[in-house]
Amino acid sequence: MSTLKNKVAIVTGASSGIGAETAKAFARSHAKVVLIGRRADRLKALEGEIREAGGEAFCITCDMTKRNDVDKAFAKSVAEHGPASILVNNAGVMLLGRFERGLADEWKQMEALNVQAALYASFKAIDQMKGIGGGVIVHVSSTAGRGPRLLNGAYAATKAAILAAAESMRQELIQHNIRVCTVIPGAVATDLADHVTDEEAKGALAGLLKMKRLEPEDVARAIVYAAEQPPYVSINEILIRPTQQPF
């Protein structure tokens, strides 16, 4: 029997890519999956796909950068499905470019979604997990957070911030039996690169996009692996790259 059976798993950024595949993987492990994201049509389609396959899924439309939206989403989730045992902070955006271009609005957007939204969602989940004696929080970071490169500095800064925050969070939450893991993927075949507007950055990504990248389900398996460990086992970091990625 799965160790995740009937546990409530909240997945942010669930409408596509890593989030969608993670939601499906948790459902296959018999968790009750709460799908959170902005794109209601995609969430509804994913909810239907999971249910058709015999799983349990429930979608909640939410802009993770708006605290009032997050408050309502977590309140709805606990009221209708029970307290969260698992939170996957997957929602994020990648916007690349030189610092000298002064793309302040893009920096603000990344900081709001990649960092602040993850921290606030964690705060909401911690409150629920403390009430049931424990849980698992999984943050999705990036290899960029471990080794920034030309043109990705602002994005890398947000992912490095999550690595730092996760370790502090892990130490703080030991007393509550809440485990914290950061999954650190390299290049993944998702629509993340489609958000890039800077032409120089698009050119720099071209070679990376030609490489055989990870599939979203590869990262999803790593996330579920961390979550399904027994309560006395805490997987703190999982670094996963395509075989051909040199950095």
- Integer Cα distance of 184 and 191 in angstroms: 17
Query: Considering 120, 155, 225, 232, which one is annotated as catalytic?
Result: 155
The sheet carrying 8-12 orders its strands as 56-61, 32-37, 8-12, 86-89, 135-140, 178-185, 237-240
The answer to whether 213 and 241 are in contact (CB under 8 A) is no
155 is annotated as an active-site residue: yes
Residues in the chain: 247
In whole angstroms, give the CA distance from residue 245 to residue 243. 6
Tokens 């950068």 appear where?
Answer: 65
| Residues tagged active-site | 155
